[in-house]
Amino acid sequence: MTTFNAFRIHQDSSGHRAGLEALTLDQLTPGEVTVRVEWSAVNYKDALAVTGRGKILRHSPLVGGVDAAGRIEASSDPALPVGTPVVITGGGLGEVRDGGFATYLRVPADMAIPLPAGLSTRQAMIIGTAGFTAALALMRMEHNGQTPALGPILITGASGGVGSFATALCVRRGYEVAALTMKPASIQYLEKLGAQKVILRDGLAMGNAPWRPRTSAA
């Protein structure tokens, strides 16, 4: 049986360890679709999982990588024929399922998203989970009625992956963007992305109220 390289992470009674291992397809998390991975990105979650500094893995061992792009190698779904370029992100990759840091990846058919014409697998991973997250957030905001005419948009953590994409996307959509960051060195970078105003977190007037932002189920 053919073996391939995978970056596998172990968290068990022997401690935390990670590195390249030779695996076979039947050792991967099962799925209707087998993808030959061409590209994957290194996300914040991946760094936490690989270093053991965050509780990312839900079981061990597991191949790391929360996203991947490649081509269908084998499929039991007629909607995803062999050779189809796809992107896979989220869905528990690198957390409860073997992820993209390997030559091959097996996933349920509904997790493999065919790439539109004109978007390569490499470009899909340059955008990556961060870019898709920012785009989905903007789509949801506009679905809920947000428009540039309603005023400026404040983007927190603007110098991070999701924040950078969100800044650039909102500017492109015609929004006035105020970018919030804790990094003075990122001011020029955020201005190049199009932010009309950059706010340093240390200079943000929050008052003396001992409250923290929270979400509501309402």
The fold adopted by the segment(s) 4-119 is: Quinone Oxidoreductase; Chain A, domain 1 (3.90.180)
Can you tell me which residue has the tokens 């360890």?
17
Give the pLDDT confidence of 134-149 residue by residue, as tens digits: 999 999 999 999 999 9
* Cβ contacts of 121 within 8 Å, gap of 6 or more: 38, 39, 69, 70, 71, 85, 87, 115
Answer yes or no: are the C-beta atoms of 169 and 195 closer than 8 Å: no
CB 58 within 8 A of CB 96: yes
| Residue 93 near residue 100 (C-beta atoms within 8 A) | yes
* The CATH number of domain 147-203 is 3.40.50.720: yes
Quick one: pLDDT at residue 13? 82
Entry pTM: 0.83
pLDDT of residue 117 exceeding 70: yes
Is residue 211 pLDDT above 60, yes or no?
no
Q: Which two tokens stand for residue 119?
A: 């978007």
212 or 22, greater pLDDT: 22
Domain ranges across the chain: 4-119, 147-203
Looking at residue 59, its pLDDT comes to 87
Residues 71/90, Cβ–Cβ less than 8 Å: no
